[in-house]
Amino acid sequence: MTTTTPAPASGRPTPARDADVERLRAAADFVREQETPDLLARVLPGLDGPELRAMTERCRFAHAALLVSPPDERVLRAELAAAGLSPDGEARPSVVVRDRMAARHGRGAGELDVRILRPEVYGPGGERRAVEVFVLTDPAGSAAAVAADERAADREAHLAFDVERPDPLVLRGLRAGFLRHGAAPDGGGYNPHEDGTVFYFAAPEETKTPYRRVELYARGDHRDVLAEHLAGGRDSHPAETLLRLLTGAWTTQALAACAELRLPEAMSPFTARGAEALARVVGARPENLATLLRYLAMVGVVAEEPGARGTFRLTEAGLLLREDAEGSVRALALMYGGPFYESFARLVHTVRTGEPGFEDRYGENHFDHFARDPELAARFDRSMTASAPVFDPLPWHPVVTAAAAAPGGRTVVDIAGGTGELLGRLLTAHPALRGVLLERAHVVEAARARLGAVAERCAFVTGDFADVPPGGDVYVLSRVLHDWDDERCRTILRHCAAAMPPEADLLIVERLLPEKPTPSLATAWDLHMMCNTGGRERTAASYARLLADAGLVLVGHSPLPLEAHVLRARRR
């Protein structure tokens, strides 16, 4: 028998009320039944294997959403009760949905009263979830046409995934994954009433759920990443597109200037400050610093305080430009705004001749140039730690886990491992592991100091690729091969194969060029490596061929954060 609810005016049930109850009940049943990995695979057909596991680790299914339009609070409560749902307290304003609906129907935002309720339900494993109910309340009937159109089109119905431990890198990685599998940007916004940021996507045509929209929800203010998302979903004039691309160099220099001035150290994510006060701290002209701050706000590094124009606070992205921040990218900003910026001015020379622009600018390759300048070398080594999120979450790879669990422990050999960022993390996470770091002499000394207590379980070998030590159980080449051309890579891999015992594993960390023409960080880094080192990024198939030429075989590869992958190889 169909459950009905009374209409406030006549006391009789109405088809709209009946339909809302059925829709609420269906949404609740859907939410109760879903497992996150299965649902993600249905939402994004083609998402499977390691990439599915990586995405499942970073987000979880949280709710299904729909919009209802009762005339008042009493009817809403009755509808929820009839659907077996209990409201979670007072409805809160829904700024994002209100603004979307107002724009669609040519209404002022103040004309629509849209609120959110999230009645709680539980998933198959007891997970706490919700049905997100958008409530367009219309006691006077002035929004009847809006309500009817929205109910018929069901535009606000969507599935939502909550992002675990959101930060800009995780959000950009998840967003890239959705786009890579056919989803398209479809708006979003920041809700100050609950301090949360939403990213909407139109589901791919091939999606295997009845929902056509998907939401990523991130706790906190992530308007810097949101700006990129909203720009990605907007049609623009070709000239505007080109102008935005042509000004990319200005962004590089603005970020480098921000880091050089130590502006992030003078700012706070919690308290806004004006340009004059900041100028006194960093030693700058107030009016010029204000211009820089406005630009940095546009690209999401700082945010102008609402209601206090001319005052600025740091965003999460801006915090990473502090030298003392976990995962700091300050050194990287100074490298990209300094020597690498100058070498890119020689890109035409590189494309025409094949000689790296860095060598044309400085007269020598970048490794030799940095080795002769201790300060620059130290900055470069620090810049390499900016990609530390690639190594999270530890234990990083099943091969390492297996080595750590083996009786008597095993040895990991990190070849050209820099100052030991990866090796230090592995040794800290796995006390049974021993390590060997192969590097140049000045880098080895820096690594000893950086590794601290775990240096007791690490041997340090000074040398180059011809000195790969034998007898290890796991060998690692992390972001090394992309520095070199194919012939040099074959030589490096042959040295590894010669040193590796028959049962040893070789793990290679690199970004992989996509097999299909899809947006990828690897495509950008391919240009960077060509111009600065003469190296290149490669597809998995290209690495397989290089490995085969060195007597090794590619066993498989798994995704890591920041669009990196770890490839596993063994001797034939």
Comparing 113-127, 143-157, 542-556, which segment has the lowest mean pLDDT?
Answer: 143-157
Distance in angstroms between the alpha carbons of the first and the last residue of the chain:
68
For domain 15-232, which CATH number applies: 3.40.50.1820, 3.40.50.10320, 3.10.180.10, 3.30.390.30?
3.10.180.10
Nearest to 116 by CA among 147, 90, 139, 85: 90
Task: Look at residue 499 and give its three-state secondary structure.
Answer: helix
**What is the CA angle 531-174-382, rounded to 5?**
45
Range 370-388 average pLDDT: 79
Cβ burial 509-523 (10 Å sphere, 16+ → b, else e): bbbbbeeeeeebebe
Domain regions of the chain by residue span: 15-232, 239-337, 391-571
**Residues 434 and 412 sit within 8 Å (Cβ to Cβ):** yes
pLDDT on residue 338 = 94
E-strand ranges in 395-504 read: 411-415, 434-439, 458-462, 474-478
Instruction: Measure Cα distances from 29 to 23, 59, 122, 356, 437 in Å.
Output: 10, 21, 10, 59, 54
pLDDT confidence of residue 141:
66
What's the topology of domain 239-337? Arc Repressor Mutant, subunit A (1.10.10)
pLDDT for position 262: 97
193 is known as an active-site residue: no
Name the DSSP letter for residue 328. -
How far are the Cα atoms of 295, 313, 333, 564 from residue 303, in angstroms, in the given order?
10, 5, 19, 30
Single out the catalytic residue among 158, 222, 397, 482. Answer: 482
- Distance CA(16)–CA(503), nearest Å, equals 68
Domain at 391-571, CATH class:
alpha beta
pLDDT for 24 = 93
Q: Rounded to two decimals, what is the model's pTM?
A: 0.60
Comparing 60-64, 133-137, 481-485, which segment has the lowest mean pLDDT? Answer: 133-137
Give mean pLDDT, residues 376-403: 68
